[in-house]
Structure 1
Amino acid sequence: MSAIQQTAAASAPYNDYHQAPVTEKQMAYARQIATRSGVVLPWEVQQNRYALSRWIDTHKIAKPTGQFSNYPTSKQVGFAERIARMKRREVPQECFRDREMMSKWIDANL
């Protein structure tokens, strides 16, 4: 690499993840978290991707822990039912009440 190329590379404004600007998608997600939780999104955090990523990890909303939180997702159920049709068998009823059990059934029947 020539001296000119080294100087240009060293002065590139966003050659490092820690200094890269935030993405629109990242910013939208952070604003959504701030709005839902009532937390202020600091200006300094909005200035680089790494800082905003850390803020998001700290403030993101936890997954629900209600009565149905351990049930399989609709995508899991649909996929399992497609596998069952192809294999000409049924998905065990207990799999419809436990996400992990459904996942294991899918893995075992692929």
Structure 2
Amino acid sequence: MSFQPSFPGLFSPARGAAPVEAEPHTSAAQPATEKQIAYARVLSAKSGAALPDGITADRAALSKWIDAHKAPAPQGRFSNYPSSKQVAFAERIARLKRNPVPPECFRDKTMMSRWIDSNKPR
């Protein structure tokens, strides 16, 4: 004798999918991280712009404030070159794979990033 469990209505189309969240239409804002708050305070002190009240309660809003108040990336002759950390990581991958990094990657950080993404060990 075999026991066949029955689950009435398990596959009925009227049931539909169960919601993952209790209330899917309300998206509560996540609070900002401690690092985010510390960086925002440093930017506030440097620029003289005060942090808006209650901004630390919303991670996305604080991120937008940081992007608006941080210093732009330096532009110059070597601004498009890969960073020393990027080069070191690429050379470590090259040693592991026994495959040299193409010379043109050392002159363009985007090319270096693409080479790393396509060659990093998985």
Give the TM-score, by structure 1 length: 0.63
Q: Which moved more, 1:69-78 or 1:46-55?
A: 46-55
Q: Which amino acid aligns with 2:46?
A: R
User: What percent of counterpart residues are identical?
Assistant: 59
Displacement of 1:103 in angstroms is 1.6
Letter in 1 for 2:75: T
Return the match for 1:16 from 28, 51, 58: 28
Provide the rounded CA distance (Å) in 2 between the counterparts of 1:22 and 1:99.
Answer: 30
Task: Look up the match of 1:107.
Answer: 117
1:30-68 Cα distance to aligned partner (Å, 9 max, x none) = 1111223332333x2446325433322322222222222
Gaps of 5+ in 1: 1-14
> Following the alignment from structure 2 to structure 1, what is the Cα–Cα distance between the partners of residues 89 and 75?
24
- Aligned residues, how many? 93
1:76 to 70, 80, 86: 86
- Structure 2 residue 61 is the aligned partner of structure 1 residue 49: no
Larger radius of gyration: 2
Listed as ranges, the gaps of 5+ residues in structure 2 are 1-26
TM-score, normalised on structure 2? 0.58
The amino acid across from 1:48 in the alignment is A
1:20-99 alignment, distance < 5 Å: 22-42=32-52, 44-46=53-55, 48-50=57-59, 51-99=61-109
Please tell me the root mean square deviation across aligned C-alpha atoms, in Å. 2.6
In structure 2, what is the Cα distance between the partners aligned to 1:103 and 1:69?
A: 15
Q: Secondary structure at the match of 1:27?
A: helix
